[in-house]
Structure 1
Amino acid sequence: MEKFLDELTKIVEDAFEASGYDGIYGKMSLSDRPDLCQFQCNGALPAAKAYKKAPFMIAKDVVEKLENSDVFEKVFTAGPGFINFIVKDTFLTQYLNSMKSEEKFGLKAAENPKTIIIDFGGANVAKPLHVGHLRSAIIGESIKRICKYLGHTVIGDVHLGDWGLQIGMVISELYRRKPELPYFDDNFSGEYPKEPPFTIDELSEIYPAASKLAKSDEAAMEAAKKATFELQKGKPGYIAIWKHILSVSTADLKKNYGALNVEFDLWKGESDAEEYIPDMLKYLNENNYTHKSEGALVVDVAKEDDTYEIPPIILLKSDGAVLYGTTDLATIVQRIKDYNPDEIIYVVDKRQGLHFEQVFRCAKKTNIADEKLKLQFIGFGTMNGKDGKPFKTREGGVMKLHDLIQLIKDNAKGKLKDDRDFSEEETEEIARIIGTAALKYGDLSNAVTKDYVFDLDRFSSFEGNTGPYLLYTVVRIKSILKKAAEDGVNASNSILTPTNNVERDLMLKLVKFGEAIEGSYEDKAPNKICEYLYDLSNLFNRFYHENKILSEEDLNKKASWIALLKLTLGILDTGLNLLGIESPERM
């Protein structure tokens, strides 16, 4: 199916052409005066310049061609040449009934499906997830789901930080605490223990202790750097410790990401790109892309028309150590080799913008990535506390993600009414779903690049533009449909024309589903889906309050309304799923 607005545009384009004008001027849009009309076309104004004719006269010509339309109830001009439209209810319901019977509500799959890799997550092993990891996970998961829904092949990669100095810090701290472990015995020749020498809780304590010591003790920092160097050179005992760190950390990460309904196709890290670095550096050197600057190996990525300074990207420091840019370039090499993607999307803190600008420019300049590969950086803003600063615990520390999830779950549980006949197990599950919806919707309803304030009470409210409000709407519809089924009322095969204004408004919002999803995909903006779902929920609740659905005596009208509710529920559930939000059966 064509999107509703596209179908209208095609009709108006034909009218422009029939009037002797280029059809390009017939593009339709939603009305910015919904009190006057539903849709509008402003094409007569730019057409006036091309045809040296008053825009009002061009608009009048087009309106005359549409006067006997089967699609429009009313077409009229306004102002200097705006054309306003109200569609016929018969056309509206015809489109709705087609949506109802089509897969994905008539949304067309991508004509040229892409292979898209989304790099999100970015957690460092040996450290617990904290609130700073929240946005990448939530936004990346939603973008992944939206791309998949439109028919693209999408590969989500957590891209762990698993090969840097933090690993050397853990190894050196472990040596200080347990020097007797076989990993530190250069003469050890047996099999290393299969059980890790630490739990996730112990590991979570080891790293901050090591980091704190290294910042104040030069010898400790040197020991960490030495351990990192020896690990990356393949020292067997350190490789064994590293594998323990990975297994313990990854199990915990999967648990915490899973609590947010976030899943990854790949659990790769910086270490996976290590083997690609030597050949990549050899290629860059042999093709004269690199030069030395103060002992470091760099590639210039600045352009003559730059309006701000873009420093060279450093591939090797003067001591021969690689940097994040080196690893990120090698990861692009690896991804091209393994998956030949059309697009790689990085969902990362916007403060990393310059870094990725350097990496992307270097990849293109050196032909590591050809012109057809799109490299896109989606930089997100910061989640702040009410003081406007990055969100902290009451004690001023960085809150662990697990603790934040528990906090918002407990808040949701406290708002569930005690008089419901929920078992303790069901209460816990409903609180989990509501809490996760509050957290994720509170994030995703903001523009990705925008900093926002984490407000627990507002996010978890059952009123207003919140996740719980959307869930409450979904549950209300499920309850009505369940009661209708118990009463023996089935949905009609066809939705009938609307009998009142709010029913018509609800229908008009439903037919805009395709625009909302495609617009969100084009801009990589889940907040557009949030806005659509919130508006749809408001319209349904108005419809619910103004019409006695279950007590309606006209059985045909009631059956039509049940069909309309089923369509509304399907679209709300689909939209929530694209945000990574579940919906309960009751609450």
Structure 2
Amino acid sequence: MKKILDAISEEMRKAFAEAGYDEELGKVSLSNRPDLCEYQCNGAMAGAKKYHKAPIMIAGEVAEKLKDSAVFSEVNAVAPGFLNLKVSDVFLCDYLKGMEAADKFGLETPEEEKTVIVDYGGPNVAKPLHVGHLRSAVIGESVKRIARYAGYKVIGDIHLGDWGLQMGLIITELQERKPELPYFDESFTGEYPKEAPFTISELEEIYPTASGKSKEDPAYKEKAMENTFKLQNGVRGHRALWDHIISVSVADMKRNYEKLNVEFDLWNGESTVQYLLADMVEEMKKGGYAYESEGALVVDVKEESDTKEIPPCIILKSDGAALYSTTDLATISERVTKYNPDIMIYITDKRQAMHFEQVFRCARKTKLVGDDTKLVHIGFGTVNGKDGKPFKTRDGGVPRLENLIHDIDEEMFRKIVESRQEMPEEEARNIAEIVGLAAIKYGDLSNQAAKDYSFDVDRFTSFEGDTGPYILYTIVRIKSILAKYQDQGGSLENLELAPAISPDEKALMMEIAKFNTMMETAFAECAPHKICAYIYDLANAFNRFYHETKIISEEDEAKKAGLIALLVLTKEILETCIELLGFSAPDRM
């Protein structure tokens, strides 16, 4: 189905052609003066030089061709040559009927299925999820859902940090605390215990302790590096401990991500591609791409067009150890082999922009990916406190993600109880979790990903303004009206939209009509904030319409049915959008 601007522009292009001018001049855009018109066309201004005519004369001739148009109710040529446009109520209504009848409201999807991999730039195992992990999870989940809705096959991969020195540090600290464990007995040949020798709480305390010791004690760090080497070279006891670390960590992560309504198709990590590293490095050497520089193995990735210094991509350190760049390149290679993706999207802190610039260039130069594979890095900003500085707890630590979610839920519960005294506590708690999730996700996603933002519990949980609870309150209000209509004997089946009978109704219909254009942009730019901006405008348009319109009390049943049909479509659009953002609406608040 054509986007509404395309449909309107088609009518305008036809008029330019009939008036004897280039039809390409007939491009229409949303009006930048909504007080004067709904849409505008500036083609006459562009055509004046080519046709040696005053633009107002061209605009007047085109307007004359549109006087009987079924698309426009008003076409005015105004000095010095603008065409001010208002669309016909019937045309707009018919367009919405087409959206209503079409799959995905008429959003055009790819003719052939393409594959997208979303890499969430995942957390390190054995560490608690904290506020810094919020953005990759929330943005990644929404980007994944948007791409799926756009008609792509999408694979989401958490891409865990599950290899390297951090594992050696944990094993070393366990060895000091519990040397009697069979994992450290090289002569042990039996089966290792199925239960991990630590809880998630113990594990989360072990890593920072070990990390602190390694910075102060060179011998301790040396031992940790030795244990890392043993793990990576398959020493049986170390591998068994590593399995426990992964199992306990992943179980806790899944619990936390479930609270955020975030799911992954793959739970892969750096360890997944270790089998590829040696051969990949050898191929880079054979191909003449990799060479030694100051003892390290590197690939030059600078290009003649660069305006800033792009350092070489380091493949192996001077001691032969692999880096993040090495495992990221091997991961790209594995993904190409297994899934042959058309697009790979990486979502990480924007401070990693240079790393991914180097990795992407290296992957292309060394032929790990073809020219037709799109590699995208979405770099996000930091989550700050109200003071604009990185968000900290009262004691100066980084807030744990589960505590952040709990604090939002408690604030929402308090507000719901205050406003709905009669609601049972269990129901209030359930609603608080639903609305709290909307508060967190919308609070994050309504910002452009690259920008920093302040995590403000009071603002995020407000039922007024540009917030998740406001959007949900609007949906709940529509649900309430529809329920009343049904209670009065009305049916939501076989309703038919009718042309607008008021400016506020038309304004709401025009917002709905923008859905397809918005969705195409949100996918093309990997930009969930476009959806947030759209539903905020749509919610505002609905609430203005609601306050100025008799709906349930409308006596003309045909008119009432038309209004109810518009409410149903508004609700469906809003619910589709919040699903793409990763949250849902309760039935009441």
What corresponds to 2:380 in structure 1? 380
CA deviation string 1:76-126 (max 9, x = no partner): 123322211101111111111222222212222223432000001511101
What corresponds to 1:242 in structure 2? 242
Root-mean-square deviation (CA, aligned residues, Å) is 1.3
- The alignment status of 1:189 with 2:189, answered yes or no, reads yes
The one-letter code matched in structure 2 to 1:88 is S
Q: Secondary structure at the match of 1:291?
A: strand
CA deviation string 1:239-275 (max 9, x = no partner): 1111111111111111111111111111100011111
Task: Check the 8 A contact 1:380/1:449 in 2, yes or no.
Answer: yes
- The alignment status of 1:490 with 2:488, answered yes or no, reads no
Q: Secondary structure at the match of 1:231?
A: helix
Task: Check the 8 A contact 1:16/1:23 in 2, yes or no.
Answer: yes
The one-letter code matched in structure 1 to 2:350 is K
Q: Secondary structure at the match of 2:161?
A: coil
What corresponds to 2:411 in structure 1? 411
What corresponds to 2:140 in structure 1? 140
Q: How far has the Cα of 1:65 moved from its partner?
A: 1.9
Q: Give the Cα separation in 2 of the matches to 1:379 and 1:51.
A: 47
Q: How far has the Cα of 1:22 moved from its partner?
A: 2.7
- The alignment status of 1:458 with 2:459, answered yes or no, reads yes
The one-letter code matched in structure 1 to 2:322 is V
What corresponds to 1:56 in structure 2? 56
Which one is further off, 6-15 or 255-264?
A: 6-15
What corresponds to 2:344 in structure 1? 344
TM-score, L = length of structure 2: 0.98
Task: Check the 8 A contact 2:78/2:84 in 1, yes or no.
Answer: yes
Task: Check the 8 A contact 2:123/2:129 in 1, yes or no.
Answer: yes
Which one is further off, 409-418 or 488-497?
A: 488-497
- The alignment status of 1:31 with 2:5, answered yes or no, reads no
Q: Secondary structure at the match of 1:70?
A: coil
Q: Give the Cα separation in 1 of the matches to 2:180 and 2:50.
A: 84
What corresponds to 2:584 in structure 1? 582
Q: How far has the Cα of 1:420 moved from its partner?
A: 4.0
What corresponds to 1:314 in structure 2? 314
Q: Give the Cα separation in 2 of the matches to 1:145 and 1:270.
A: 25
CA deviation string 1:206-257 (max 9, x = no partner): 1111111112221121121111111111111111111111111111111111
Q: How does 1:86-105 map to 2 (within 5 A)?
A: 86-105=86-105
CA deviation string 1:377-428 (max 9, x = no partner): 1111111111211111111101110111001111111111344433222111
Q: Secondary structure at the match of 1:548?
A: coil
Q: Give the Cα separation in 1 of the matches to 2:147 and 2:466.
A: 25
What corresponds to 2:219 in structure 1? 219
Task: Check the 8 A contact 1:484/1:550 in 2, yes or no.
Answer: yes
Which one is further off, 383-392 or 417-426?
A: 417-426
What corresponds to 2:261 in structure 1? 261
Q: Give the Cα separation in 2 of the matches to 1:61 and 1:112.
A: 43
Which one is further off, 573-582 or 99-108?
A: 99-108
What corresponds to 1:468 in structure 2? 469
Q: Secondary structure at the match of 2:154?
A: strand
Task: Check the 8 A contact 1:490/1:562 in 2, yes or no.
Answer: no
Q: Secondary structure at the match of 1:416?
A: helix
Q: Secondary structure at the match of 1:297?
A: strand
Pair 378,79 (structure 1): closer, same or farther in 2 beyond 3 Å: farther
What corresponds to 1:535 in structure 2? 537
Q: How far has the Cα of 1:18 moved from its partner?
A: 2.4
Q: 1:559 aligns with which of 548, 558, 561?
A: 561
The one-letter code matched in structure 2 to 1:436 is L
Task: Check the 8 A contact 1:413/1:431 in 2, yes or no.
Answer: yes
Q: How far has the Cα of 1:137 moved from its partner?
A: 0.6
Q: How far has the Cα of 1:52 moved from its partner?
A: 4.1
Q: Secondary structure at the match of 2:265?
A: coil
Q: Give the Cα separation in 2 of the matches to 1:286 and 1:113.
A: 36
Which one is further off, 215-224 or 32-41?
A: 215-224
What corresponds to 1:284 in structure 2? 284
Q: Secondary structure at the match of 1:417?
A: helix
Task: Check the 8 A contact 2:381/2:450 in 1, yes or no.
Answer: yes
The one-letter code matched in structure 2 to 1:130 is H
CA deviation string 1:357-381 (max 9, x = no partner): 0000101111111100000111111
Task: Check the 8 A contact 1:121/1:133 in 2, yes or no.
Answer: no
Q: Secondary structure at the match of 2:417?
A: coil
Q: Give the Cα separation in 2 of the matches to 1:428 and 1:278.
A: 53
Q: How does 1:144-183 map to 2 (within 5 A)?
A: 144-183=144-183
Q: How far has the Cα of 1:58 moved from its partner?
A: 2.7
The one-letter code matched in structure 1 to 2:495 is N
Pair 211,50 (structure 1): closer, same or farther in 2 beyond 3 Å: farther
Q: How far has the Cα of 1:16 moved from its partner?
A: 2.1
What corresponds to 2:8 in structure 1? 8
Q: Secondary structure at the match of 2:422?
A: coil
What corresponds to 2:526 in structure 1? 524
Q: Give the Cα separation in 2 of the matches to 1:378 and 1:101.
A: 35
Q: Give the Cα separation in 1 of the matches to 2:42 and 2:517.
A: 19
What corresponds to 2:436 in structure 1? 435
Runs of 4+ in 1 over 4 A off after TM superposition: none
Pair 152,331 (structure 1): closer, same or farther in 2 beyond 3 Å: same
TM-score, L = length of structure 1: 0.98
CA deviation string 1:536-569 (max 9, x = no partner): 1111111111122111111111111111111110
Q: Give the Cα separation in 1 of the matches to 2:86 and 2:208.
A: 63
Q: How far has the Cα of 1:62 moved from its partner?
A: 2.1
Pair 480,121 (structure 1): closer, same or farther in 2 beyond 3 Å: farther
Q: Give the Cα separation in 1 of the matches to 2:160 and 2:58.
A: 59
Q: Secondary structure at the match of 2:500?
A: coil
Q: Give the Cα separation in 2 of the matches to 1:524 and 1:21.
A: 38
Q: Give the Cα separation in 1 of the matches to 2:93 and 2:29.
A: 20
Pair 570,420 (structure 1): closer, same or farther in 2 beyond 3 Å: farther
| Identity value in percent | 58
The one-letter code matched in structure 1 to 2:437 is T
Q: Give the Cα separation in 1 of the matches to 2:90 and 2:411.
A: 47
The one-letter code matched in structure 1 to 2:545 is F
Q: Give the Cα separation in 2 of the matches to 1:272 and 1:22.
A: 58
Q: How far has the Cα of 1:19 moved from its partner?
A: 2.7
Q: Secondary structure at the match of 2:155?
A: strand
- The alignment status of 1:548 with 2:550, answered yes or no, reads yes
Task: Check the 8 A contact 1:99/1:105 in 2, yes or no.
Answer: yes
The one-letter code matched in structure 2 to 1:480 is I
Which one is further off, 421-430 or 343-352?
A: 421-430
The one-letter code matched in structure 1 to 2:432 is A
Which one is further off, 386-395 or 467-476?
A: 386-395
Q: Give the Cα separation in 2 of the matches to 1:56 and 1:283.
A: 66
What corresponds to 1:424 in structure 2? 425
Which one is further off, 516-525 or 483-492?
A: 483-492
Q: Give the Cα separation in 1 of the matches to 2:113 and 2:75.
A: 38
Task: Check the 8 A contact 2:158/2:267 in 1, yes or no.
Answer: yes
Q: Give the Cα separation in 2 of the matches to 1:423 and 1:154.
A: 40
Q: Give the Cα separation in 2 of the matches to 1:382 and 1:337.
A: 34
Q: Give the Cα separation in 1 of the matches to 2:124 and 2:88.
A: 57
Q: Secondary structure at the match of 1:261?
A: coil
CA deviation string 1:454-479 (max 9, x = no partner): 11100100000000000001111111
Task: Check the 8 A contact 2:417/2:423 in 1, yes or no.
Answer: no
Q: How does 1:69-84 map to 2 (within 5 A)?
A: 69-84=69-84
Pair 138,296 (structure 1): closer, same or farther in 2 beyond 3 Å: same
What corresponds to 1:571 in structure 2? 573
Stretches of structure 1 lacking an aligned partner (at least 5 in a row): none
- The alignment status of 1:22 with 2:22, answered yes or no, reads yes
Task: Check the 8 A contact 2:417/2:428 in 1, yes or no.
Answer: no
Give the paired residue count: 587
Q: Give the Cα separation in 2 of the matches to 1:40 and 1:319.
A: 65
Q: Give the Cα separation in 2 of the matches to 1:48 and 1:175.
A: 82
